[in-house]
Amino acid sequence: MMEALKMYKEENERLKKENEELKKQQGNPSQSSQPSQPAKRKPLQLEASSASGDLSELIAGKALATATDTHGNGVEGLRVEFYVKDRKVGAGFTDGNGDVNVQSAQFAGDPQTWVKGLAHGYTARFRGNDEYLPAEANATAGVTIG
């Protein structure tokens, strides 16, 4: 029994020393293995085209945005949201060319929204994902009388 107790103490001492060595390595990054860094997200170019609304349809607007990578290729499947000032007026997903078209609701019941749209235009906003950084673009809005 004394022999087993002696072996236990020796093993305990060995584990303590090993634990101390590991703590030292963690405190010194040059000796410890660093976790791999997450992949860098790529920049995205978002371009918004001028929007137009039809007064006869009580200012229902159409807006277009295009998302491209750094090589100018359209990026498919990104959710782009459209805002007039701080109010979200629509959202959609980019197609194979990187284009997203939205038709906003009619804002006759909320003339402030379409007045702000005429005065300030709109913003297309991509919030970012695991692959691409966030991006946004602004464009003007106009009215057609039909």
89-142 per-position pLDDT tens digit: 889 999 999 999 887 665 444 555 555 555 667 889 999 999 999 999 988 876
Same domain, 86 and 130: yes
Asked if 138 and 46 count as a contact pair (C-beta separation under 8 A), the reply is: no
Give tens-digit pLDDT for 1-34. 566 656 667 776 777 777 777 677 766 554 445 5
For 38, list phi and psi in degrees, rounded to 5. Answer: -65, 155
Establish how many alpha carbons lie within 13 A of residue 136's alpha carbon, considering only the half-sphere containing its beta carbon: 10
Q: Which domain holds residue 95?
A: 45-144
**pTM, to two decimals:** 0.62
CA of 21: how far to CAs of 9, 12, 17, 49, 80, in Å? Answer: 18, 14, 6, 61, 51
Same domain, 33 and 66: no
Same domain, 102 and 126: yes
Same domain, 83 and 125: yes
Same domain, 30 and 70: no
Number of domains in the chain: 2
- CATH number of the domain bearing residue 120: 2.60.40.10
Rounded-to-integer distance, Cα 9 and Cα 143, Å = 86
